[in-house]
Every structure is written in structure tokens, then in C-alpha cells.
């Protein structure tokens, strides 16, 4: 009743005060080329920094501890910030007026959109199919301009986390192969009202609780410039991983090879929800590492399905699998092969790979995956109980699954086989069939989505990583079936 309304009013007033300055400075400025900074724009820049500092002061951020020295755009055109845990991470952006990567829709937000356009961000358009590639090209163009463009601040995690570890860095920021300066953020408040993730309180509650605190602490530490080696320039994933290790050491937190997309996969809504101990997450990381996620998902999966069906269940060796994927045999490919080598006899069924790939590429379209699987396994337009078990174990990424009760419930006429139409009709009548028939007595299969709401990508920096620069990670060797 006291601090919150007063601080909210002051912060809103300062943002409105900043708007005309940002608007005037943005008029007539090209988004394609950078012109020399005139004296009056330099003055506007100083005024906006002062206004933004007062705004944060009004919000309770009275003192901001800055460690280290910020490098110039010439020496480090890209600033890598982590961990990304809140919209209060905008503090270093307003302190430096560096560019950031933003969704294109942000520039249409009243007042805020004008302030965003002033810092000349790199916009990502969701409606543009080539947006990711164009964004990376724009970052490369700016980063390799010799310091003519403002520095770009990038949050490579791509989403908000709770700061307990550093998740996988998206390699898009490291593709230009230029020196970067890691910047770590800390909020050492006794009570954490800053963190904003999909599992925690909403944005308004975070704002309310933070403005109610008498004093909020933020620490910004600029680490030494990291210059990539020739190998890291050729391998952005290696570059990203090495920078992440340095930042994790400075933060004294561990790292995890999981990404936000992995969490989204486990929480997606669909007829089949992935269990907590699914190996599909391991498979997902290997798909990223091998660059196997297709750009045209539906066309690629249909082609895979046709090729797999033509093999009629023929077992493939590791070398056969490599030829099927047009890849060289590597440790990463061996890890993927091991996921499908159920009997550990050095062979696999390629149909299981296609099912797992379909789950990863379209996690919410369960029935589409099952339809594809039925086409690959069916003989005389129907499949037996053992084939249904193989399909569901692969789709769920588990090694043991009892489908006897489910198969009998679908096969009402006791034919010993079921069609896809029968399966689909049963699923439509029993939307919760997996919990009722598959996992009713197996508490180990409790799904993450039972405790977590639908995931929302709430990060400042969206995923702009091109599909051909995916993460390469080692995984534990579990069996998918």
C-alpha cells in the first residue's frame, strides 16, 4: 500500500520521460547502416542512461555493484550475459545502451517499443521462415564491422532459469567467431523476488514483490575477453561450451547439458505425455549434435517413413545406420545407435529411429506420430500387441512398458490385431488412456507436466540458432526400448 504504488508510479513516469528523447533520436536513423554518432545523439544517450538509472533507483536498485571493465566494441563486439533469470536483466542493457536480440513484435509495444528501437536491436520475426538465418547473418555483419555498430548483448541460454546452473548455450551468438566478453549477473538478495521462470510466480507478482523490498541488490561482473581459437571459430558449439564453463566457474554453479527445448518437450500437451525418466531427452540432444532435425518436418518424416517401411523390419548395423543418415560413423552416432540397440547385438530397427524423431520434431502431434508408426509396422493394415508395445516404448523413451490391458481394451473383437482407426477412436474416447492403461501402477513414470504449467518462452533473447549449428553433447547410454 506504500512502496509498491509509489515506486510503480515513479518508474512509469521515468519511462514516459525517456520516450520523447528516444523517439527524437530514432527519427531518420537507418536500420541497415550505422552513421557517425552526432554530438546531440551522444547527449541523448547520456540523458537516457541517467533517466533509466533513476527508474531503477525508484524500483529499489539503489546501488549497482559493477566489477571488471567493459570492453570496447572494437575489442569485443558481443557481450555474453548469463544467467538469464528475470526481466530485471534489462538493467545492464539500459546501463550500456547496447543492442540486444528481440522479437520483432516488441517494437510495436507503445512507449516500450520506441525505447527498444533506440538501442537498434536485432529483430527476429516469427512469421519469417528465414528469420533465424537472417538474424545470425545480421549479428555477423555487426560483429565484424570493426566496432562501427554498438555492442550486442546476448543471453545465450535463450530463456529464464533459476540461476542454480547454466543450461546449454545456443551457439548462434558464437557463429561469427569474434572475441566475446562474458558478463555474469548476480542478485544476492536474502529473499529472491527476482527470478522469473515458467514454474514460479507470474510477471506481475514478481514486479510487486520486488518493488515491495526496501533494497534490491544486483551485481554485474565483466570477465576478461575470450578470444576463440581457430578450432572454436570452426565449431561454434565448442566455442559456446568453453565460454559457458568459464562463466559457470565465475558464478560457482554447475552446468547442465539440457536446454529449454528439452523442458518444453517433457511438458508438452498431447495424448502421450513423456514420463520423467524418458530417454527421448538423450535422443533430442543427439539429434541436435548430429544436425538431424529437418527444416521441412512433415515432408522429411513422410520420406523417412516410406524408406523405413520398404526395409520391412530389416535390422541395421551401425555402418548401415550411418549410410541411412548419410553420416560418418562417430562417437555421437554410436551413442544414438546404442539407444535403439535393444538386444545389444549390434543391430537396430530403423523404424524406431523414425518414431523417436517424429516425437522430437512434433511433440504435440501424438496421433500423427502413431499414424506414421502404424504405417511402418502394419501388415494387412493392422498391428499386433508386440508391435504396439515397440511403438509406444519408442515414442515414450522407456525400456519397459505393459500394453496388454490397453491392447485388449482397443481390440474389443479379440482379433489379435488393431488398426490405426481403432486406436484413434479409442484415444478420442479415452483422452487419459496413458495414465489409466500404461502407467496406473508405475509411479516412476510421473510426468513433469502434472506439476508444471504450460511452458512459456519468457526470455529476452529468443532461439535464433540455425538448425545446422546444433549442440553436440555426450549422453548416458540408455535404451529406448
The residues, any chain, with a CB within 8 Å of residue 205's CB and separated by 6 or more, are: none
What is the percent of the chain with per-residue pLDDT over 70, rounded to a whole number?
85
Coil vs helix vs strand at 278: coil
The partner residues of 182 in beta bridges, in order of sequence, read 80
Q: How many CB atoms lie within 10 A of CB 336?
A: 28
Q: 7 pLDDT exceeds 60?
A: yes
pLDDT score at 270: 62
pLDDT score at 291: 83
Neighbour-count burial for 245-277, b at 16+ CB within 10 Å, e otherwise = eebbebbebebebbbbbbbbbbbbebbbbbbee
pLDDT score at 126: 60
pLDDT score at 93: 92
pLDDT score at 128: 64
Strand order in the sheet with 180-186: 64-67, 218-222, 180-186, 78-82, 152-154, 99-103, 122-124
Coil vs helix vs strand at 201: coil
Closest-CA residue to 217 (of 201, 197, 194) = 194
Q: 474 pLDDT exceeds 60?
A: no
**Residue range 92-103: mean pLDDT, rounded:** 89
How many angstroms separate the CA atoms of 265 and 355, rounded? 15
Q: 454 pLDDT exceeds 60?
A: no
pLDDT tens-digit readout, 164-176: 999 989 888 999 9
pLDDT tens-digit readout, 240-295: 999 999 999 999 999 988 777 776 676 666 666 777 678 888 898 888 888 888 87
Handedness of CA 277, 282, 283, 284 (dihedral sign): positive
**Residue range 308-318: mean pLDDT, rounded:** 88
pLDDT tens-digit readout, 378-433: 766 789 999 999 999 898 888 888 888 899 999 988 889 999 999 999 988 887 78
C-alpha cell of residue 6: 509509489
- Extended beta strands in 166-260, E state: 180-186, 218-222
C-alpha cell of residue 146: 570493426
Average pLDDT taken over every residue of the chain: 84
Can you give the residue ranges of every domain in the chain? 64-256, 269-450
The residues, any chain, with a CB within 8 Å of residue 72's CB and separated by 6 or more, are: 147
Lowest mean pLDDT among 108-112, 186-190, 318-322, 339-343: 108-112
Amino acid at each position: 500500500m506504500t512502496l509498491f504504488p509509489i515506486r510503480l508510479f515513479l518508474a512509469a513516469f521515468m519511462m514516459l520521460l525517456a520516450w520523447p528523447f528516444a523517439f527524437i533520436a530514432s527519427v531518420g536513423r537507418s536500420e541497415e547502416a550505422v552513421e557517425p554518432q552526432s554530438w546531440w545523439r551522444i547527449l541523448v544517450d547520456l540523458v537516457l542512461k541517467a533517466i533509466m538509472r533513476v527508474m531503477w533507483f525508484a524500483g529499489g536498485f539503489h546501488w549497482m555493484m559493477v566489477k571488471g571493465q567493459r570492453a570496447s566494441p572494437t575489442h569485443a563486439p558481443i557481450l555474453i550475459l548469463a544467467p538469464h533469470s528475470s526481466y530485471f536483466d534489462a538493467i545492464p542493457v539500459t546501463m550500456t545502451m547496447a543492442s540486444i536480440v528481440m522479437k520483432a513484435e516488441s517494437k510495436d509495444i507503445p512507449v516500450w517499443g520506441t525505447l527498444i528501437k533506440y538501442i537498434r536491436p536485432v529483430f527476429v520475426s516469427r512469421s519469417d521462415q528465414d528469420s533465424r538465418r537472417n538474424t545470425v547473418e545480421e549479428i555477423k555483419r555487426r560483429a565484424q564491422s570493426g566496432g562501427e555498430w554498438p555492442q550486442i548483448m546476448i543471453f545465450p541460454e535463450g530463456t529464464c532459469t533459476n540461476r542454480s546452473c547454466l543450461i546449454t548455450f545456443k551457439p548462434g551468438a558464437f557463429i561469427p567467431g569474434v572475441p566475446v566478453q562474458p558478463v555474469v549477473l548476480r542478485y544476492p538478495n536474502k529473499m529472491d523476488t527476482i527470478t522469473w521462470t515458467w514454474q514460479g510466480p507470474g510477471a506481475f507478482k514478481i514486479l510487486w514483490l520486488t518493488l515491495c523490498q526496501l533494497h534490491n541488490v544486483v551485481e554485474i561482473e565483466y570477465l576478461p575477453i575470450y578470444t576463440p581459437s581457430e578450432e572454436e571459430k570452426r565449431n561454434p558449439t565448442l566455442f559456446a561450451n568453453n565460454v559457458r564453463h568459464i562463466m559457470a566457474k565465475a558464478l560457482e554453479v554447475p552446468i547442465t547439458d539440457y536446454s529449454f527445448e528439452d523442458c518444453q518437450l517433457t511438458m508438452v500437451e498431447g495424448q502421450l505425455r513423456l514420463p520423467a525418466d524418458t530417454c527421448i531427452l538423450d535422443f533430442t540432444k543427439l539429434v541436435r549434435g548430429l544436425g538431424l532435425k529437418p527444416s521441412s518436418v512433415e515432408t522429411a518424416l513422410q520420406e523417412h517413413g516410406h524408406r523405413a517401411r520398404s526395409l520391412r523390419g530389416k535390422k541395421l548395423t551401425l555402418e548401415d545406420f550411418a549410410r541411412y543418415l548419410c553420416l560418418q560413423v562417430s562417437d555421437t552416432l554410436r551413442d544414438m545407435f546404442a539407444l535403439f540397440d535393444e538386444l545389444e547385438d549390434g543391430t537396430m530397427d530403423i523404424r524406431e529411429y523414425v518414431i523417436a524423431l517424429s516425437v522430437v520434431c512434433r511433440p504435440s502431434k501424438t496421433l500423427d506420430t502413431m499414424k506414421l508408426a502404424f504405417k511402418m509396422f502394419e501388415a494387412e493394415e493392422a498391428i499386433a500387441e508386440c508391435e504396439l508395445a515397440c511403438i509406444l516404448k519408442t515414442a515414450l523413451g522407456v525400456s519397459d512398458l505393459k500394453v496388454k490391458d490397453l491392447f485388449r481394451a482397443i481390440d474389443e473383437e479379440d482379433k489379435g490385431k488393431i488398426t490405426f482407426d481403432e486406436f484413434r477412436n479409442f484415444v478420442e474416447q479415452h483422452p487419459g488412456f496413458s495414465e489409466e492403461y500404461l502407467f496406473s501402477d508405475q509411479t516412476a513414470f510421473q510426468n513433469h507436466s502434472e506439476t508444471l504449467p504450460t511452458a512459456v518462452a519468457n526470455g529476452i533473447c529468443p532461439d535464433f540458432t540455425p538448425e545446422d549449428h546444433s549442440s553436440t553433447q555426450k549422453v548416458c547410454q540408455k535404451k529406448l526400448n
